[in-house]
Structure 1
Amino acid sequence: MHQVSSSGCRCCFYLKVNYMHFEKPSRFVLVCALLHLCDLTMVAHAETTGEEQASAHVQFTYNWQYHPAYRATYSGPNSIMAASEKMYTLSMTGFFGFRPWQGGELYFNPEVAQGVPFSTNLVGLGGFTNGEITRAGGTNPVPYRQRFFLRQTWNQGGESERVESGLNNQMAGWVDNNRFVLTLGNFSTLDVFDPNSYAKDARTQFMNWGNWTYAAYDYAADARGFGWGFAGEWYQDEWVVRFGRMTGPRRPNELPVDWAIGKHYGDQIEIEHEHSLGGHPGKVRVLGWRNRAVTASFADALAWLNAHPGAYAGPDALFAVRNSEKIKYGLGVNVEQEINQNTGFFLRAMQADGRTETYAFTEVDGSLSTGMLVKGNAWGKPDDCIGVSLLQNTLSADRRNFLAAGGTSYFLGDGKLSYRPEKIFEGYYSFGLTKTTWLTADYQQIQNPAYNADRGPMQVYALRLHAEL
């Protein structure tokens, strides 16, 4: 059995340090109660050869960011503020799971989140600087159901592989190397697709959106990044095939779910191959996706602008031509490679067709990100790590012509556009304060924010505190 830990009180200490952000003390008490519930839950274990029958974990993440004033020749309705400003996010998530039957796992993740982005609204970038900001909705903490799903595993032989319990909705146990896994319910597409050991988790690794998945991956989800649907995974020796369908929003980048999953949806298929180079493991993944939804074509929106000279050039143009189902698709490659015991390399590259407005993620039509992560074992700090990355985001000709004409889309709109690819450097150092608590210092430099050579470069400094039980 796990021992009941006093670390829940340590998390509550972190909450009290940030009590100033909780405008309603009753919600603060609710959050503390959630943490203590996790702390008092006894997790059932069998022996090492057995299975965990139930699990309870909790995470806390506070991310504070600041950008100094930067050069901006002009600004529009969706420009990120050129004057210096601050932002923050705070999230607390419970991860509860149990096994209702052999091979079955049921998970529930309640979450409380709050925060305020730069410029009050989430605008003015393709590669946003904080992966938690999609779940933050203001200065009051908001509780909601993040995930509620069933996972069923059918083992099909081969060697057995040990999986450990953690905050990835996984209970300790054994699975066959050859198996089929079905996930069904309310979860994120990224829970199943596009894994990467070195660039995946915005709470513990890189913060920029283009580092925890492909920035050009317009995966179906609500405004918080979650949806309803299914995903299948077939594991066969060194190969994995994944496929799935998820719900999207009723209107692009909004919270209400479009339940017509047979008519409007996001489909994806991914093939993964595991290999070894010089005795070091690596993986290559190829991901293809296809969305079908009622969205606006940028060519139609530009024609509308040209037909209405002097009209408001904001999202009215997109609203006016958002009247029929459109297809959007993309293809990407994801590589991870261990270089030595302490160092890993990653690369993601994706191209989307870019003819229609963004459905559920950010405004990027072509994305490239690459970098390295080094574990602190190399300098005697096993709980520390350092990461560096380079990113480039691009727009399709249709999207940039619309923006150059003064159009405004969901995240972008400087009034006009001197187009250049958006280029981003990110580097971070994560300090292991304890075995379950990390403080991360992060720096990002953004050339041509929102693809505009008339703005930037923009510097972003961040501190992140993360704890987990």
Structure 2
Amino acid sequence: MHKTFYILFLSTFFLAAKAQNTDTVKQQRFNFHFQQTVVTQTHPGFSAKYSGDNSLSPNHETASSLTATLFGGARLWKGAQAYFNTEMSGGSGFSQTLGVAGFPNGETFRVGAAEPKIYIARAYLTQRFSWGTEQDTLSDDNNQLAGLQSRRYFSITAGKFGMADFFDTNAFSHDPRTQFLNWSLMSNPAWDYPANTRGYVFGIYTDYHQPSWDLRFALTMVTNTANGSVWDGKIGKANAQTLEFEKRYTFAGNKQGSFRILTFNNNAKMGDYRLAIAQNPTAPDVVSTRDYGRNKLGFGINADQFMTRDFGVFAKASYNDGRYETWAFTEIDRSISFGGVLAGTSWKRAKDEIGLAFVGNGLSGPHRDYLAAGGYGFIIGDGALNYSPEMIAELYYKLNAYKNSFWLTPDYQFILHPAYNIDRGPVNVFSIRAHVEF
């Protein structure tokens, strides 16, 4: 009952807020937005020679997730903006969100409980220092105030946010609420980006912005355990640095494109895969080897390109050294993906779109040997491993069901070698996503 009341209250409040913000203004002083996404997925039974504690169940499963977010923004003094988001999430993924490195529902979290919870998702302040006369016009959007913005500025952001808010974006493959659902198609999956269990982090983010390029850097906290919710206070030993360069351009006259190069270095009290095997060859436990002084290095490449006004393509590749345990995102040490999205203009449904993508995920040698010896991570572990890259294909059709505010998206995913195991699968995942925003 309290969930229904909460959602109805928010809907009424934000419809009223939207009505108060429909006037065109040069510099919007405040805004309010709301989104709700419900995803229901099912997979039939599949073949599995064996299963472990972290395996995807080979039996038929159905699972649902729900998120609802309130977005609030305010313009303070010159160049300063503040944003505050509250969020509710509930439900779970298949098998308690275990058993697939590229998990099929990007709206699920590894929280251990399906009951809906309300929490603060974002609370941050941005100060922008601008120069030059060239300006862009920004629209009213989630965590974005409408108005004019200089095309040259330096900004500093501090507080709680999601790394994916600012880094590794992509026009066609980034948001599981409106685009592809799979974890591997959100952010570059070998980027073990710093976050708590629900995907948010405390830190400082800077952006040097020019008309055709950006240079971004973030220094953030990390949690004190893998997939944890408690922040490690020993910031000198436990922290993450992320650096990204983005270049924007036009192709063949007017076709927009961009590419990004990201590097990262995560420091945390991580476990060592090789040491865990050496200590216990038949039942290694990476948790028992955790210590400070461990770091994870890696990079990601990310590009998107409009080929026509209605059709765009993307490609991504990422890598981390994979010596130490996965800390925040998912157990992927190498990944490559590509795909395309087509708007429905040619069949007179311009706001609809169809997307198709392919993913190949892999593990480092130490990570692979650890799982083969019977070890467990926080996402995968079948008790044994007959290794092969995890291969995923995803196809969706997003239907604009009501005035650019309500979308229905049937989705199909084919997962070959779930958790990198030839002895399990393949898995067919059928989904339906309902998304509303205003």
TM-score, with structure 1 as normaliser:
0.90
Letter in 2 for 1:36: T
CA gap 1:359/1:136 in 2 versus in 1, 3 angstroms: closer
The range that moved more, 318-327 or 82-91, is: 318-327
CA contact (8 A) 1:216 1:350 kept: yes
Map 1:78-93 onto structure 2 (within 5 A). 78-93=54-69
Residue identity matched to 1:445: F
Paired amino acid for 2:48: A
1:31 shift after superposition = 3.1
| 8 A Cα contact 2:111 2:197, kept in partner | no
Structure 1 pair 158/143, CA: closer, same or farther in 2 (3 Å)? same
Matching residue within 353, 357, 364 for 2:321:
353
- Secondary structure, aligned partner of 2:287: helix
Q: Secondary structure at the match of 2:94?
A: coil
Give the share of equivalent positions with the same residue, in percent.
36
Instruction: Name the counterpart of 1:445.
Output: 414
Distance 1:371 1:261 in 2: 39
Q: 2:34 aligns with which of 51, 54, 58?
A: 58
Residue 427 of structure 2, aligned match among 458, 462, 467: 458
| Distance in 2 between residues matched to 1:108 and 1:37, nearest whole Å | 16
Pick aligned residue for 1:145 from 120, 131, 144: 120
**In the TM superposition, what whole-angstrom CA distance separates every residue of 1:155-201 from its partner, at most 9, and x where no partner exists?**
2214210111112x101011111111222100011111011111111
User: In the alignment, what sits opposite 1:108?
Assistant: 84
* 3-state SS of 2:366 partner: helix
AA at the equivalent of 1:263: K
Alpha-carbon offset, residue 47 of structure 1: 6.9
User: C-alpha root-mean-square deviation of aligned residues, in Å?
Assistant: 1.6
CA-to-aligned-CA distance 1:3-31 (integer Å, 9 cap, x gap): xxxxxxxxxxxxxxxxxxxxxx1343233
Per-residue deviation, 1:54: 0.6
- Return the alpha-carbon distance in structure 1 between the equivalents of residues 48 and 235 of structure 2: 43
- Distance in 1 separating the partners of 2:165 and 2:7: 24
Number of aligned residue pairs: 436
SS at match of 1:382: strand
Is 1:366–2:334 an aligned residue pair? yes
For the Cα contact (< 8 Å) 2:97–2:110, is it kept in 1?
A: no
| Aligned residue in 1 for 2:160 | 186
> Match of 1:383, SS?
strand
Structure 2 residue runs without a partner (length 5+): none
Q: Tell me the residue number matched to 1:9.
A: none
Q: For 1:235-278, what per-residue CA distance to the aligned partner results, in whole angstroms no more than 9, with x for missing partners?
A: 12211100011111111111112233333111100011112221
Equivalent of residue 237 in structure 1, options 201, 211, 226: 211
2:263 equivalent to 1:263: no
371, 378, 381: which one pairs with 1:410?
Answer: 378
Q: Secondary structure at the match of 1:134?
A: coil
Q: Quick check: 2:92–2:109 contact (8 Å CA) kept in 1? A: no
Alignment equivalent of 1:324, drawn from 282, 289, 292 = 292
How far has the Cα of 1:429 moved from its partner?
0.2
Report how far residue 49 of structure 1 moved.
Answer: 6.1
| 1:59 and 1:468 in contact (8 A); partners too | yes
